Amino acid sequence: MRPTVLIASYLEPEHINRIRAEAPAVDVLYRPDLIGAPRFQADHTAPVKRTPQQEAEWRALLAEAEILFDFDISHRENLPALAPKLKWIQATSAGIGQAVKRFGYDQTGWRFTTASGVHARPLAEYCLMVMLMFIKNYPVMDAQKRAHHWRRFNNSELRGLTVGIVGLGRIGRDIAQVCQTFGMTVLACRRSRANPPPTVDVQFPPERLDDLLPQVDFLVLCAPHTPDTDGLLSAERIRLMKTGSILINIARGALVDHSELKRALRAGHLGGAALDVTDPEPLPADDPLWDMPNVIISHHSASTADTENGKLTDLFIRNLHRYLNDEPLENLLDIERMY
């Protein structure tokens, strides 16, 4: 029988047409009226509202699906019961390990492939933007503009500064490449014992993270959220960071002790922070981080670019061919390691 693919989050018609044209051996089911309407381009978590009739139609589609493009956010807990034929889910995010464990999908025998690599360049560009904003004193520019006040000031340059990258997957390697281009010294901490790429000057194992922290002007967190990285940047480690250094978190909020982060920002121990992710998330409206002039908050949107759905479609088509040919899938999730 022909495998059935169910598209579980919004894709533009041209991408649906490409999947059908380039993978004619599968049946592609796409009902945009039954999934969440995107609130912005490449929105894969849009709220879903269905009538009882529409809900019955969606459940009938789930019952036939062998492959899902993206997780069904409307049936997270009972998806195994509703999708008895399901064998593989292609995610639209790289960091899916926690969700797979949380909803018990690790007990189903399904395969999961991540979107690793799709968001690497947008996130690397975001980190570059943040670094430039801080060394060029954008908070001063913004404050003076709001006050209609003209006073000259000095700034710095990236060349000669040091960045520490925690997590050297595709995102971390792209960040390292960008930083090297700007003449920065690149330190990296990674679990793998593989030789560092040429864009990394010094590589540290996880047990030597404390040696890296006092050396860096910018610390970028882009490691997956696992039991080993939960609370990774603890109060003690924040205190090890160089005075005036900048934290950039594009991983998960749970990697950071937010109470100590706020204290360090107020005290001036840290020069600033750029938080694409927080703990909790969304950040509560009364959280002090909102009002700190040395904090950039990007609402978990740093990775979301208008090129995303095209890249996801490319990846999905490649994996469809691999699936049909019984070849190893690209970006296959290691359920035990959670990435």
Q: Let me know whether 40 and 107 are in one domain.
A: yes
Residues designated as active site: 252, 281, 300
Q: Taking the chain (339 residues) in consecutive chunks of 10 residues, what is each chunk's mean pLDDT?
A: 96 98 98 97 96 98 98 97 98 96 97 97 98 96 96 97 97 98 98 95 98 98 96 98 98 98 98 98 98 97 97 98 98 95
pLDDT given for residue 304 in this prediction: 96
Number of structural domains in the chain: 2
In a domain? residue 331: no
Q: Let me know whether 134 and 275 are in one domain.
A: yes
Q: What is the CATH number of the domain that holds 231?
A: 3.40.50.720
In a domain? residue 215: yes
pLDDT given for residue 80 in this prediction: 98
**Overall residue count recorded for the chain in this entry:** 339
Q: Let me know whether 111 and 124 are in one domain.
A: no
Q: Let me know whether 90 and 161 are in one domain.
A: no
Please answer whether residues 225 and 278 qualify as being in contact, where contact means their C-beta atoms are separated by less than 8 angstroms: no
Which range marks the domain in which residue 162 is found? Answer: 120-297
How far is the C-alpha of 219 from the C-alpha of 165, rounded, in Å?
Answer: 6
Upstream peptide bond of 280 is cis (omega within 30 degrees of 0): yes
SS3 of the chain: the string is CCCEEEECCCCCHHHHHHHHHHCCCCEEECCHHHCCCCCCCCCCCCCCCCCHHHHHHHHHHHHHCCEEECCCCCCCCCHHHHCCCCCEEECCCCCCHHHHHHCCHHHCCCEEECCCCCCHHHHHHHHHHHHHHHHCCHHHHHHHHHCCCCCCCCCCCCCCCEEEEECCCHHHHHHHHHHHHCCCEEEEECCCCCCCCCCCCEEECHHHHHHHHHHCCEEEECCCCCCCCCCCECHHHHHHCCCCEEEEECCCHHHECHHHHHHHHHHCCEEEEEECCCCCCCCCCCCHHHHCCCEEECCCCCCCCCCHHHHHHHHHHHHHHHHHCCCCCCCECCCCCCC
How far is the C-alpha of 6 from the C-alpha of 89, rounded, in Å?
Answer: 10
Q: Let me know whether 159 and 250 are in one domain.
A: yes
Q: Let me know whether 270 and 129 are in one domain.
A: yes
pLDDT given for residue 245 in this prediction: 98
Q: Let me know whether 161 and 59 are in one domain.
A: no
Q: Let me know whether 140 and 286 are in one domain.
A: yes
In a domain? residue 329: no
pTM: 0.95
In a domain? residue 137: yes
In a domain? residue 333: no
Q: Let me know whether 222 and 168 are in one domain.
A: yes
Q: Let me know whether 103 and 137 are in one domain.
A: no
Q: Let me know whether 255 and 206 are in one domain.
A: yes
Q: Let me know whether 180 and 280 are in one domain.
A: yes
Cα torsion angle, 60, 64, 70, 72, sign: positive
pLDDT given for residue 1 in this prediction: 85
In a domain? residue 200: yes
In a domain? residue 337: no
pLDDT given for residue 199 in this prediction: 98
In a domain? residue 339: no
245-249 sheet: strands from edge to edge: 202-204, 185-189, 162-166, 218-221, 245-249, 270-275, 295-297
